[in-house]
Amino acid sequence: MMHGLQNLIGELEQDCSLNEPDRLRQRIDALDRLDAYLDGQLDGPLPAIITQSIAPEIYPRAKALYVRLEQANSELYQTIRLEIQRSAERYELLQRLASQSNQSDNTTSPTVGEGYDYLDELVSGVLQFEEPSTDIAQLPAEMVFYQPTPARHIFDLIHRVALTERDVLIDLGSGMGHVPLLAAICTSARSIGIELEAAYVDCARQSAQALNLNNVAFIQQDARTADLSTGTVFYLYTPFIGMILRTVLDSLRREAATRPIRICTFGPCTAIIAEEPWLEAVGPLETHRLAIFRSRN
Ligand SMILES: C[S@@+](CC[C@H](N)C(=O)[O-])C[C@H]1O[C@@H](n2cnc3c(N)ncnc32)[C@H](O)[C@@H]1O
Protein backbone atom coordinates (compact mmCIF):
# COMPACT_ATOMS: atom_id res chain seq x y z
CA MET A 1 0.00 0.00 0.00
CA MET A 2 2.72 2.46 0.98
CA HIS A 3 4.66 2.09 -2.27
CA GLY A 4 1.51 2.49 -4.30
CA LEU A 5 0.59 5.69 -2.47
CA GLN A 6 4.16 7.01 -2.64
CA ASN A 7 4.28 6.43 -6.40
CA LEU A 8 0.88 8.05 -6.85
CA ILE A 9 1.91 11.13 -4.86
CA GLY A 10 5.17 11.41 -6.85
CA GLU A 11 3.25 11.14 -10.11
CA LEU A 12 0.62 13.72 -9.12
CA GLU A 13 3.13 16.19 -7.62
CA GLN A 14 4.99 16.28 -10.93
CA ASP A 15 1.90 16.74 -13.09
CA CYS A 16 1.62 20.55 -13.28
CA SER A 17 -1.17 20.28 -15.88
CA LEU A 18 -3.51 19.27 -13.05
CA ASN A 19 -3.67 22.95 -12.05
CA GLU A 20 -5.17 23.99 -15.40
CA PRO A 21 -8.87 24.86 -14.98
CA ASP A 22 -10.10 22.53 -17.72
CA ARG A 23 -8.41 19.47 -16.18
CA LEU A 24 -11.34 18.97 -13.82
CA ARG A 25 -11.92 15.40 -14.88
CA GLN A 26 -8.28 14.47 -14.28
CA ARG A 27 -8.31 16.24 -10.89
CA ILE A 28 -11.41 14.39 -9.77
CA ASP A 29 -9.84 11.15 -10.92
CA ALA A 30 -6.68 11.99 -8.91
CA LEU A 31 -8.76 12.81 -5.82
CA ASP A 32 -10.59 9.50 -6.16
CA ARG A 33 -7.28 7.64 -6.42
CA LEU A 34 -5.97 9.38 -3.28
CA ASP A 35 -9.23 8.61 -1.49
CA ALA A 36 -8.86 4.94 -2.36
CA TYR A 37 -5.63 4.85 -0.32
CA LEU A 38 -6.68 7.17 2.48
CA ASP A 39 -10.25 6.01 2.84
CA GLY A 40 -11.50 9.60 2.68
CA GLN A 41 -9.80 10.36 6.04
CA LEU A 42 -7.91 13.55 5.26
CA ASP A 43 -9.43 15.60 8.05
CA GLY A 44 -8.45 14.88 11.64
CA PRO A 45 -6.37 11.98 12.91
CA LEU A 46 -6.02 8.98 10.64
CA PRO A 47 -7.42 5.65 11.83
CA ALA A 48 -4.76 3.25 13.19
CA ILE A 49 -5.24 0.84 10.32
CA ILE A 50 -4.07 3.51 7.88
CA THR A 51 -1.27 5.05 10.01
CA GLN A 52 0.30 1.62 10.40
CA SER A 53 0.61 1.26 6.65
CA ILE A 54 1.70 4.83 5.72
CA ALA A 55 5.10 6.36 6.46
CA PRO A 56 4.70 9.58 8.55
CA GLU A 57 6.14 11.89 5.87
CA ILE A 58 3.73 10.62 3.22
CA TYR A 59 0.55 11.78 4.89
CA PRO A 60 1.27 15.57 4.85
CA ARG A 61 2.26 15.33 1.17
CA ALA A 62 -0.97 13.50 0.37
CA LYS A 63 -2.97 16.07 2.29
CA ALA A 64 -1.21 19.03 0.59
CA LEU A 65 -1.94 17.49 -2.81
CA TYR A 66 -5.55 16.89 -1.89
CA VAL A 67 -6.02 20.49 -0.74
CA ARG A 68 -4.35 21.84 -3.92
CA LEU A 69 -6.61 19.80 -6.21
CA GLU A 70 -9.77 20.72 -4.30
CA GLN A 71 -8.74 24.37 -4.33
CA ALA A 72 -8.33 24.27 -8.14
CA ASN A 73 -11.83 22.77 -8.42
CA SER A 74 -13.35 25.42 -6.14
CA GLU A 75 -11.72 28.18 -8.21
CA LEU A 76 -13.12 26.66 -11.39
CA TYR A 77 -16.65 26.45 -9.92
CA GLN A 78 -16.38 30.05 -8.75
CA THR A 79 -15.22 31.24 -12.19
CA ILE A 80 -18.18 29.51 -13.84
CA ARG A 81 -20.61 30.92 -11.24
CA LEU A 82 -19.31 34.43 -11.91
CA GLU A 83 -19.74 33.96 -15.66
CA ILE A 84 -23.30 32.77 -15.14
CA GLN A 85 -24.10 35.63 -12.74
CA ARG A 86 -22.78 38.17 -15.24
CA SER A 87 -24.59 36.26 -18.00
CA ALA A 88 -21.66 37.01 -20.31
CA GLU A 89 -21.04 33.92 -22.45
CA ARG A 90 -22.27 32.22 -19.35
CA TYR A 91 -22.41 28.73 -20.62
CA GLU A 92 -19.24 28.56 -22.66
CA LEU A 93 -16.98 27.10 -20.00
CA LEU A 94 -19.69 24.83 -18.64
CA GLN A 95 -20.34 23.45 -22.10
CA ARG A 96 -16.65 23.03 -22.87
CA LEU A 97 -16.23 20.97 -19.72
CA ALA A 98 -19.39 19.00 -20.42
CA SER A 99 -18.21 18.20 -23.92
CA GLN A 100 -15.16 16.45 -22.40
CA SER A 101 -17.54 13.68 -21.38
CA ASN A 102 -18.05 12.87 -25.04
CA GLN A 103 -14.31 12.58 -25.62
CA SER A 104 -13.98 9.75 -23.15
CA ASP A 105 -11.30 7.20 -23.78
CA ASN A 106 -13.43 4.69 -21.87
CA THR A 107 -14.67 1.79 -23.91
CA THR A 108 -18.27 2.23 -22.72
CA SER A 109 -20.37 5.11 -24.01
CA PRO A 110 -20.29 7.95 -21.47
CA THR A 111 -23.93 8.84 -22.01
CA VAL A 112 -25.23 5.43 -20.96
CA GLY A 113 -26.30 4.29 -17.48
CA GLU A 114 -27.62 5.76 -14.25
CA GLY A 115 -24.28 6.11 -12.39
CA TYR A 116 -22.76 9.49 -11.52
CA ASP A 117 -19.40 10.85 -12.65
CA TYR A 118 -17.18 13.94 -12.55
CA LEU A 119 -19.81 16.01 -14.39
CA ASP A 120 -22.12 15.64 -11.40
CA GLU A 121 -19.37 17.10 -9.20
CA LEU A 122 -19.01 19.95 -11.65
CA VAL A 123 -22.74 20.64 -11.62
CA SER A 124 -23.04 20.51 -7.83
CA GLY A 125 -19.99 22.78 -7.54
CA VAL A 126 -21.67 25.29 -9.86
CA LEU A 127 -25.26 25.07 -8.61
CA GLN A 128 -24.21 24.93 -4.92
CA PHE A 129 -27.49 23.79 -3.39
CA GLU A 130 -28.14 24.47 0.28
CA GLU A 131 -29.19 21.45 2.30
CA PRO A 132 -33.03 21.30 2.54
CA SER A 133 -33.96 23.26 5.66
CA THR A 134 -36.98 21.12 6.57
CA ASP A 135 -37.64 17.40 6.72
CA ILE A 136 -38.53 15.71 3.47
CA ALA A 137 -42.08 14.35 3.54
CA GLN A 138 -42.70 10.71 2.79
CA LEU A 139 -44.22 10.30 -0.67
CA PRO A 140 -47.52 8.53 -1.27
CA ALA A 141 -47.53 5.25 -3.22
CA GLU A 142 -46.77 5.57 -6.96
CA MET A 143 -44.64 8.70 -6.43
CA VAL A 144 -40.91 8.11 -6.87
CA PHE A 145 -38.37 9.45 -4.34
CA TYR A 146 -35.87 12.10 -5.34
CA GLN A 147 -32.81 11.18 -7.32
CA PRO A 148 -31.18 13.63 -9.72
CA THR A 149 -30.66 12.83 -13.38
CA PRO A 150 -26.91 12.22 -13.94
CA ALA A 151 -25.49 15.42 -15.39
CA ARG A 152 -24.21 13.85 -18.62
CA HIS A 153 -27.81 12.93 -19.52
CA ILE A 154 -28.92 16.51 -18.89
CA PHE A 155 -26.19 17.78 -21.23
CA ASP A 156 -27.25 15.08 -23.69
CA LEU A 157 -30.84 16.39 -23.49
CA ILE A 158 -29.71 19.99 -24.01
CA HIS A 159 -27.58 18.94 -26.98
CA ARG A 160 -30.19 16.72 -28.67
CA VAL A 161 -33.32 18.78 -28.06
CA ALA A 162 -31.70 22.05 -29.22
CA LEU A 163 -33.97 24.31 -27.15
CA THR A 164 -34.53 27.82 -28.54
CA GLU A 165 -35.96 31.02 -27.06
CA ARG A 166 -39.40 29.88 -28.28
CA ASP A 167 -39.28 26.76 -26.08
CA VAL A 168 -40.54 26.21 -22.56
CA LEU A 169 -39.07 23.14 -20.89
CA ILE A 170 -41.17 21.70 -18.05
CA ASP A 171 -39.58 19.15 -15.71
CA LEU A 172 -42.39 17.16 -14.08
CA GLY A 173 -41.11 16.19 -10.63
CA SER A 174 -38.07 18.47 -10.74
CA GLY A 175 -36.48 17.67 -7.35
CA MET A 176 -33.71 20.17 -6.57
CA GLY A 177 -33.99 21.50 -10.12
CA HIS A 178 -30.83 20.31 -11.89
CA VAL A 179 -32.57 19.97 -15.26
CA PRO A 180 -34.40 23.35 -15.41
CA LEU A 181 -31.36 25.13 -13.92
CA LEU A 182 -28.89 23.69 -16.42
CA ALA A 183 -31.29 24.31 -19.30
CA ALA A 184 -31.67 27.92 -18.13
CA ILE A 185 -27.89 28.32 -17.96
CA CYS A 186 -27.07 26.62 -21.26
CA THR A 187 -29.96 27.70 -23.52
CA SER A 188 -32.18 30.69 -24.24
CA ALA A 189 -35.35 28.70 -23.48
CA ARG A 190 -37.52 29.28 -20.43
CA SER A 191 -37.59 26.42 -17.94
CA ILE A 192 -40.11 25.44 -15.28
CA GLY A 193 -39.74 22.84 -12.55
CA ILE A 194 -42.85 21.36 -10.97
CA GLU A 195 -42.16 19.56 -7.72
CA LEU A 196 -44.35 18.35 -4.87
CA GLU A 197 -41.73 18.61 -2.10
CA ALA A 198 -41.57 22.22 -0.88
CA ALA A 199 -38.05 21.85 0.59
CA TYR A 200 -36.64 20.90 -2.84
CA VAL A 201 -38.47 23.80 -4.47
CA ASP A 202 -36.87 26.19 -1.96
CA CYS A 203 -33.38 24.83 -2.70
CA ALA A 204 -33.93 25.14 -6.45
CA ARG A 205 -35.20 28.73 -6.13
CA GLN A 206 -32.24 29.73 -3.95
CA SER A 207 -29.79 28.29 -6.47
CA ALA A 208 -31.49 30.14 -9.35
CA GLN A 209 -31.52 33.40 -7.40
CA ALA A 210 -27.85 33.16 -6.41
CA LEU A 211 -26.96 32.68 -10.08
CA ASN A 212 -29.19 35.58 -11.28
CA LEU A 213 -31.17 33.26 -13.53
CA ASN A 214 -34.37 34.92 -14.65
CA ASN A 215 -35.50 32.37 -17.24
CA VAL A 216 -36.35 29.62 -14.76
CA ALA A 217 -39.19 29.15 -12.25
CA PHE A 218 -40.09 26.49 -9.72
CA ILE A 219 -43.65 25.66 -8.73
CA GLN A 220 -44.59 23.59 -5.70
CA GLN A 221 -47.45 21.47 -6.96
CA ASP A 222 -48.65 17.98 -7.77
CA ALA A 223 -47.89 17.37 -11.45
CA ARG A 224 -51.45 16.02 -11.90
CA THR A 225 -52.95 19.46 -11.28
CA ALA A 226 -50.20 21.60 -12.85
CA ASP A 227 -50.81 24.02 -15.72
CA LEU A 228 -48.98 22.45 -18.68
CA SER A 229 -50.30 24.90 -21.26
CA THR A 230 -47.03 26.79 -21.82
CA GLY A 231 -44.76 23.77 -22.26
CA THR A 232 -43.21 22.79 -25.57
CA VAL A 233 -40.80 20.19 -24.15
CA PHE A 234 -41.58 18.05 -21.10
CA TYR A 235 -39.10 16.02 -19.11
CA LEU A 236 -39.79 13.01 -16.88
CA TYR A 237 -37.12 11.10 -14.97
CA THR A 238 -39.64 8.47 -13.83
CA PRO A 239 -41.17 10.77 -11.19
CA PHE A 240 -44.27 8.60 -10.72
CA ILE A 241 -45.73 5.34 -11.92
CA GLY A 242 -49.10 3.58 -12.23
CA MET A 243 -52.26 5.68 -12.20
CA ILE A 244 -50.39 8.93 -11.51
CA LEU A 245 -48.28 8.48 -14.63
CA ARG A 246 -51.46 7.58 -16.55
CA THR A 247 -53.20 10.77 -15.39
CA VAL A 248 -50.24 12.99 -16.32
CA LEU A 249 -49.85 11.28 -19.71
CA ASP A 250 -53.54 11.92 -20.40
CA SER A 251 -53.00 15.62 -19.59
CA LEU A 252 -49.99 15.69 -21.92
CA ARG A 253 -52.04 14.05 -24.69
CA ARG A 254 -54.66 16.81 -24.32
CA GLU A 255 -51.89 19.43 -24.58
CA ALA A 256 -50.56 17.68 -27.69
CA ALA A 257 -53.98 18.04 -29.30
CA THR A 258 -53.50 21.84 -29.18
CA ARG A 259 -49.87 22.11 -30.42
CA PRO A 260 -46.83 19.93 -31.18
CA ILE A 261 -44.93 18.93 -28.05
CA ARG A 262 -41.86 16.86 -27.29
CA ILE A 263 -41.41 14.59 -24.29
CA CYS A 264 -38.00 13.52 -23.00
CA THR A 265 -37.82 10.56 -20.63
CA PHE A 266 -35.21 8.75 -18.59
CA GLY A 267 -35.43 5.57 -16.55
CA PRO A 268 -38.19 2.93 -16.39
CA CYS A 269 -40.99 5.30 -17.47
CA THR A 270 -39.52 5.32 -21.00
CA ALA A 271 -40.85 1.85 -21.81
CA ILE A 272 -44.38 2.85 -20.73
CA ILE A 273 -44.35 6.19 -22.54
CA ALA A 274 -43.04 4.47 -25.70
CA GLU A 275 -46.39 2.61 -25.86
CA GLU A 276 -48.42 5.83 -26.17
CA PRO A 277 -49.99 5.80 -29.66
CA TRP A 278 -50.05 9.60 -29.90
CA LEU A 279 -46.25 9.78 -29.54
CA GLU A 280 -43.42 8.72 -31.83
CA ALA A 281 -39.80 8.24 -30.85
CA VAL A 282 -37.23 10.64 -32.27
CA GLY A 283 -34.25 8.42 -33.10
CA PRO A 284 -33.61 4.94 -31.74
CA LEU A 285 -34.82 4.03 -28.24
CA GLU A 286 -31.76 2.96 -26.29
CA THR A 287 -31.96 1.42 -22.83
CA HIS A 288 -30.24 3.53 -20.14
CA ARG A 289 -30.15 6.60 -22.34
CA LEU A 290 -32.45 9.56 -22.48
CA ALA A 291 -35.33 9.08 -24.96
CA ILE A 292 -37.05 11.79 -26.98
CA PHE A 293 -40.62 11.55 -28.32
CA ARG A 294 -42.69 13.97 -30.35
CA SER A 295 -46.45 14.15 -30.63
CA ARG A 296 -47.93 12.84 -33.88
CA ASN A 297 -49.83 15.32 -36.06
C1 LIG B 1 -36.57 10.63 -9.79
S2 LIG B 1 -36.79 12.26 -9.12
C3 LIG B 1 -36.40 13.25 -10.54
C4 LIG B 1 -35.83 14.60 -10.16
C5 LIG B 1 -35.50 15.53 -11.31
N6 LIG B 1 -36.50 15.53 -12.36
C7 LIG B 1 -34.17 15.19 -11.94
O8 LIG B 1 -34.20 14.52 -12.97
O9 LIG B 1 -33.10 15.57 -11.43
C10 LIG B 1 -38.57 12.34 -8.99
C11 LIG B 1 -39.10 13.60 -8.34
O12 LIG B 1 -40.48 13.69 -8.60
C13 LIG B 1 -41.13 14.22 -7.44
N14 LIG B 1 -42.54 13.82 -7.51
C15 LIG B 1 -43.06 12.59 -7.31
N16 LIG B 1 -44.38 12.61 -7.51
C17 LIG B 1 -44.74 13.88 -7.84
C18 LIG B 1 -45.95 14.52 -8.20
N19 LIG B 1 -47.12 13.84 -8.22
N20 LIG B 1 -45.93 15.83 -8.51
C21 LIG B 1 -44.77 16.52 -8.48
N22 LIG B 1 -43.58 15.97 -8.14
C23 LIG B 1 -43.55 14.66 -7.85
C24 LIG B 1 -40.35 13.61 -6.29
O25 LIG B 1 -40.51 14.37 -5.10
C26 LIG B 1 -38.92 13.66 -6.83
O27 LIG B 1 -38.29 14.86 -6.47
Q: Is 126 left (phi over 0), alpha (psi -120 to 50) or beta?
A: alpha
What distance in angstroms lies between residue 68's CA and the mean position of ligand 1's atoms?
37
Reported as a pLDDT band with limits 50, 70 and 90, residue 57 is confident
Indicate which atom in ligand 1 lies nearest the CA of residue 238: 1
179 lines ligand 1 (CB under 6 A): yes
Residue of 156, 202, 221, 240 best suited for mutating to test ligand 1, as the one with most atoms within 8 Å of CB:
240
Could you give the CA distance from residue 105 to residue 100 in angstroms, rounded to a whole number?
10
Cβ atoms within 10 Å, residue 47: 11
244 lines ligand 1 (CB under 6 A): yes
| pLDDT 10s digits, 26-39 | 999 999 999 888 77
Dihedrals phi, psi of 44, to nearest 5 degrees: 75, -175
| pLDDT 10s digits, 92-102 | 767 777 776 55
Dihedrals phi, psi of 77, to nearest 5 degrees: -60, -40
Q: Is the predicted pLDDT of residue 18 greater than 50, yes or no?
A: yes
pLDDT value of position 278? 98
